[in-house]
Structure 1
Amino acid sequence: MQSNIVTPIADTINYDEAEQQFINLLDLENLDSKLESQPELASIVDNAIAQAIENAFSGAASDDGAHLFLQRILYRINRLQLFWYDDLRHYTNERSPYLNKVRDTIETPWQEWELSHLDVEAIKQLDVKQALTERSACDLNPPLSEDSRYLREEMSEAGYRHVLAIGSFDGLVEGSRLSRIMGGAANEVHATLMRVLIEEYGNGRLSRKHSTYFAQMLEEFGMNTQPESYFELVPWEVLACANHNFLMTERKIYFLRYNGGLTYFEVAGPATYRNYLAAAQRLELSQAAMGYWELHIREDERHGQWMLTDVSLPLAQRYPDRAWELVLGYDQEKLMGDRAGVAIVRLAKQA
């Protein structure tokens, strides 16, 4: 295979150039052995990552360009944990030590930065069952925010299409990360998680899989239904949510945090979907252009209850010394989800 790698010719950091260099590295045969003899092949990428980490996580001002670059690089590594029914050669470096090093280099300061936005010590002092129960009750039917009112009352059809494009990033592969925690011992918690996963996957029928309903919404507007088709539109805040969940499911030490986060996601989902459904109804769109929202409002209300009563609360009882991690996961998913929601509304307005 002919290499598309180029060596750096300037000291200025160009994130687009560095990302393209990284894409070339991903498919480079014998990547690690070649980097041993030619470390300069990765110098543009490595320098850009180091600078982006400094720009994104140090100082008072946050650099959105640096965040986007880092999250895109991290996602390109993490997505190798899923199978995309594409050319098998794209997975040649899925266990590359270099890619693992890049992932760890980004994840470590990023996760420290994310946790700095939460009072972890205060969370450790909470009554976990009370905290989860109260939070779930509040997030099930929250008061309408300014952004929620915008979606319901003002968003244009162009904005709606933009929301669908960004939403397709997750909607077309829905449930994929949940599947990664399903291996292991069987018990009641495991059985409930499997029920959630099975419903997300349409009980094994493609026509009933949730991603199929999302694809139907895209088809109604003549939009591309291939996963990641609108990757270029996805803001870093949304990518961060995906990468965070990859990390939570990749490391079993974070099992409690992941399930706390999934509890929030399922509990709060219907409130968000009602905003999108109201927008579609106001715009007088077809049933096919809004069916996914109706399905999720109905099913996620049930999933949220399952996650609270049959997963999170039993896990809190099973792991009393670490149960606070469930609340941490819940609060972190809410914080990151709210941040992503703000970014999506901002882009919908621009559309």
Structure 2
Amino acid sequence: MRLPQPRGPLSATLVETLRRSQDGVQPGPDDARTADVLHDHDLQLSLWMCYELHYRGFDDVDDTWEWSPDLISWRRRLEDRFLAGLRALAPTPAVAPEAVPDALADLVAADDGPSLAGYLQREATLEQFREFVALRSVYHLKEADPHSWAIPRLEGRAKAALVEIQADEYGGGRVERMHSELFRDVMRALDLDDTYGHYVDRAPAVTLAVTNTISLFGLNRNLTGALVGHLAAFEMTSSLPNRRYGNGLRRLGGDERATRFYDEHVEADAVHEQIAAHDLCGTYAKAHPDAAGDVLFGAAACLAVEAEFAGALLDRWGLGLSALHTSALERTA
């Protein structure tokens, strides 16, 4: 994977800097800002590039940039803006540690985000489903990896619970059952390029924000509570949408291999829901009472960002437009 096309002054300066050998050069200005950080293309792409250095990196970037003090400092300033935006979007009340599992269930029950899954099940065209899958590939081709940052930070029952969930995500050691590999089957069935990171240049800011939220929580140890809360919300809201995604793809002609990714999540995430809420988050909150609010914040942030993602796709499709991002060059062609 090579560096993506910039979308503004932040990402342009970052791309230019990362193409050099590391020599202590500051990445550049960070004063460009918008009120809505989730839809800020320049901010989200810049953060995604910074975070990707900790995953697989880029073919045209020196690997030593991963821990450049200048780059980490610059990233931190972007993260402060992103985190402030997430906290404003997903305010959460104080809660007693022992009440965390019930509070998570209440958050999920109160979630009234737009039903992207219902639209894909009943109304989406084949091209719209292809766009959905292409955009989701930004996360699903590294599914589980961001949440795995929490494993070395947990202990006891909470650690065992997370490992149990992640073992299923990674296919129990069988490559063909890894969820990221099952998603590749979906992409191939829809004639999409399943190369890691291929659709980043076509991903709107809010699509990048979905993955950036997990990376933000995962790469900052002080946000471990938010990371496990995010995973819990992700698992607790997964089974029904995935059933609808699978049925939608079958409606459009998808066979058993094409829909296996979604069918697998219907069963697995129904089990993961209880493990994540009680064994993982409940145990973690009791061991770290001061982080109980962080757990709920992570869950609320997950629901809020996913709702923004769903709304963005439905808005574009409702206008008869593609949900994929178009570059400035394409818009002026």
Q: TM-score, normalised by structure 2?
A: 0.85
Check the 8 A contact 1:274/1:293 in 2, yes or no: yes
Q: How does 1:274-289 map to 2 (within 5 A)?
A: 274-289=243-258
Residue aligning to 2:50? 77
How far apart are the structure 2 equivalents of 1:309 and 1:152? Answer: 31
Residue aligning to 1:132? 101
Q: 1:230 to 1:133 in 2, by over 3 A?
A: same
How far apart are the structure 2 equivalents of 1:63 and 1:189? Answer: 32
Q: Describe the SS at the equivalent of 1:228.
A: coil
The answer to whether 1:207 aligns with 2:184 is no
Residue aligning to 1:272? 241
* Count of residues paired in the alignment: 315
How far apart are the structure 1 equivalents of 2:155 and 2:38? Answer: 43
The answer to whether 1:93 aligns with 2:74 is no
Q: Alpha-carbon deviations, 1:134-187, whole Å to 9, x = none? A: 542673797895544322221000000001100111111111112222125641
The alpha carbon displacement at 1:233 in A equals 2.0
Check the 8 A contact 1:162/1:348 in 2, yes or no: no
How far apart are the structure 2 equivalents of 1:202 and 1:118? Answer: 32
Q: 1:267 to 1:140 in 2, by over 3 A?
A: farther
Q: Alpha-carbon deviations, 1:81-137, whole Å to 9, x = none? A: 1135x64954131111221122112111221122123434xx11x345446325426
How far apart are the structure 2 equivalents of 1:288 and 1:25? Answer: 43
How far apart are the structure 2 equivalents of 1:199 and 1:156? Answer: 31
Residue aligning to 1:50? 31
Q: Describe the SS at the equivalent of 1:112.
A: helix
How far apart are the structure 1 equivalents of 2:38 and 2:302? Answer: 20
Q: Describe the SS at the equivalent of 1:116.
A: helix
1:28 to 20, 23, 37: 20
Q: How does 1:254-333 map to 2 (within 5 A)?
A: 254-333=223-302
Amino acid aligned to 1:71: Q
How far apart are the structure 2 equivalents of 1:64 and 1:319? Answer: 29
How far apart are the structure 2 equivalents of 1:139 and 1:218? Answer: 29
The alpha carbon displacement at 1:222 in A equals 2.2
Q: 1:164 to 1:118 in 2, by over 3 A?
A: closer
Check the 8 A contact 2:226/2:294 in 1, yes or no: yes
Point out the more displaced range, 15-24 or 311-320. Answer: 15-24
1:334 to 303, 312, 323: 303
How far apart are the structure 1 equivalents of 2:103 and 2:22? Answer: 53
Q: TM-score, normalised by structure 1?
A: 0.81
Q: Describe the SS at the equivalent of 1:175.
A: coil
Q: Which blocks of at least 5 consecutive residues in structure 1 are unaligned?
A: 1-13
Q: Which blocks of at least 5 consecutive residues in structure 2 are unaligned?
A: 1-5, 323-333
How far apart are the structure 2 equivalents of 1:142 and 1:19? Answer: 33
How far apart are the structure 1 equivalents of 2:66 and 2:181? Answer: 28
Q: 1:260 to 1:214 in 2, by over 3 A?
A: same
Q: Alpha-carbon deviations, 1:201-227, whole Å to 9, x = none? A: 112221111111100111112211111
The answer to whether 1:149 aligns with 2:149 is no
The alpha carbon displacement at 1:76 in A equals 0.2
How far apart are the structure 1 equivalents of 2:115 and 2:231? Answer: 25
Name segments (4+ residues, structure 1) moved above 6 Å: 140-144
Amino acid aligned to 2:68: S
The answer to whether 1:240 aligns with 2:209 is yes
CA-based RMSD: 2.7
Q: How does 1:156-175 map to 2 (within 5 A)?
A: 156-175=125-144
The alpha carbon displacement at 1:305 in A equals 1.2
Relative contact order, higher structure (CA 8 A, sep 6+): 2
Q: 1:184 to 1:130 in 2, by over 3 A?
A: closer
Q: 1:229 to 1:346 in 2, by over 3 A?
A: farther
Check the 8 A contact 2:100/2:285 in 1, yes or no: no
1:68 to 35, 41, 44: 41
Amino acid aligned to 1:106: L
Q: 1:259 to 1:63 in 2, by over 3 A?
A: closer
Fraction of identical pairs, as percent: 19
Structure with bigger gyration radius? 1
Q: How does 1:222-241 map to 2 (within 5 A)?
A: 222-241=191-210
Check the 8 A contact 2:217/2:227 in 1, yes or no: yes
